[in-house]
Amino acid sequence: MSIGAVAAMRLLLRRELTLSFRRPEQLLQPLVFFLIVTTLFPLGLSPQLSLLREMAPGVLWVAALLASLLSMDGLFKSDADDGTLEQLALSGQSLGIIVIAKTIAHWLVSGVALVVVSPVVATTLAIPIEAFPIMMLSLAMGTLTLSWLGAIGAGLTVGLRRGSVLLSLIILPLAMPLLIFGANATDRAIGGESAAGPLYFLAALCVFTTTLAPFAASTALRITLE
Amino acid sequence: MSAAPYCLEVDRVHVWRGDRHVLKGTSFRLEGGELLHVWGPNGTGKTTLLRVACGLLRPEQGAVSWMGRAIHSFAADYQAALAYASHETALKSDLTALENLRFTVGLKRAVEGAELRETLAKVGVGACADLPARVLSAGQRRRVAIARVLALRAPLWLLDEPYTNLDTDGAAFMSAMLDAHVDQGGCAVVVAHHDLALGCRVRRLELSA
């Protein structure tokens, strides 16, 4: 009678993506934020290419981090507010599947979108084209990790009325390693050095959160549902 | 549906919300072919009892069992057997009525769009199937939520104030639906602050402050 986990996941992913595309302004908000922050830096600092290139990895990563955080707050909130989260929790599917589907959908519409526009931003920050693949790869892994961390934070704070501030406080310290290794990988790629070291660290963080965050987030969610 | 011995049992359940002792040893036993009407003044824990019964809320003391087994020992199977309608209609305003149904009913059983359309039509909102829930009136939203309960085809219904916002026709339909469900051997727990005009076997549980 009941449908399998894979079919449920597919249905949930479709639900999340449909909902995101019905709200284009929410979809574009982090992207626009990312673009604005990164284009303001050259204006505020100096248009000197060497200086820009030196600052670029840090600017890029801080902007990506904050942009991703911006959309994190709503991950479970809107479903909790209108009662659909209860319906999902009572669907007979495990909360883990719901968390995984929602987080992957979040990453697809926020993280992947950031990765796609990052070459444009990188050009304004004078990052050479040769560094683009490493930069995009590190951003992809970094934003996925961030989405997982955010899922835990969002699960913990969904029941609170002013949860978004607390959410940032929970996630940002955990995101520091991402910032360090991500910016370092991009920096090394710009300098033409091997970025394997920081990339391995990013990949390890990515695998670590992908495997553990669903458990943590679904437990957090179960507690808030009570 | 009539062959299986459905039975929901809530045994001396205690729930505290902060300092408030909301449910004080509430018990009931409900068998297939019976409807339990939970009533009482506001703030006496009617909704809390329903949330305990569907497993969203674990009671501090006491047990809930379905067909003789504690519900937390087989949560997924138990939840597949129940249809819960909260006092919120639980519809996403950006999705159409049909999509709303497809994405919740579809998680429990494989379902075709045509069947869901039929269910919506039966409840009297067939024309709204492709409209976003945002533009529906409160009564129409309630009807869509009722259509979801019907479409879930679950033996156990847990309904929180299902008559809210319904017009006379809608209320009559709701009652007929409950009668049919219970007469076929299903169970239903209905929270309502008014009398229910039903033909089926109704038991009453009064909660007091």
Rounded (5°) CA angle B172-B39-B17? 130
A193 shares contact with chain B (CB less than 8 Å): no
Please state, in angstroms and rounded to a whole number, the distance separating the CA atoms of residues A26 and B178: 41
B127 shares contact with chain A (CB less than 8 Å): no
A84 shares contact with chain B (CB less than 8 Å): yes
Q: Which of A3, A18, A83 sits opposite B109 (nearest CB)?
A: A3
- CATH number 1.10.10.10 is the correct assignment for the domain at B1-81+155-209: no
**Is B84–A87 a contact, with Cβ atoms under 8 angstroms apart?**
yes
Strands of the sheet containing B7-17, edge to edge, are B20-31, B7-17, B61-66, B69-70
Q: Which of A83, A88, A89 sits opposite B88 (nearest CB)?
A: A83
Q: Which residues contact B168 (CB under 8 A, 6 or more apart)?
A: none
Instruction: Give me the residue spans of the domains in chain B.
Output: 1-81+155-209, 89-153
Domain total in chain A:
1
Question: Would you say A213 and A154 are in contact if contact means Cβ atoms under 8 Å apart?
Answer: no
Distance to chain A for B158, nearest Cα, Å: 12
Mean pLDDT of chain A, nearest integer = 91
Phi and psi dihedrals of B69, rounded to 5? -115, 140
Task: Walk along chain B (209 residues) and give the pLDDT tens digit of each residue.
Answer: 445 578 999 999 999 988 888 888 899 999 989 999 998 888 888 999 999 999 988 999 999 999 989 998 888 889 989 999 998 899 999 999 999 999 999 998 888 889 999 999 999 999 999 999 999 999 999 999 999 999 999 999 999 999 999 999 999 999 999 999 999 989 999 998 888 888 888 888 988 87
A225 shares contact with chain B (CB less than 8 Å): yes
**Is A1–B109 a contact, with Cβ atoms under 8 angstroms apart?**
yes
pLDDT tens, residue by residue, A80-119:
988 899 999 998 888 999 999 999 999 999 999 999 999 9
Please state, in angstroms and rounded to a whole number, the distance separating the CA atoms of residues B70 and B10: 10
Distance to chain B for A154, nearest Cα, Å: 19
pTM of the full predicted structure? Answer: 0.91
Rounded (5°) CA angle B30-B33-B36? 45
As for the ipTM of the complex, it is: 0.90
Q: Containing domain of residue A158, as a range? A: 5-225
Report pLDDT for A69: 86
Distance to chain B for A135, nearest Cα, Å: 35
Give, in order, the Cα–Cα distances in Å from A125 to each of A37, A68, A111, A119, B46. 11, 20, 20, 10, 60
Q: Which of A11, A86, A94 sits opposite B106 (nearest CB)?
A: A11
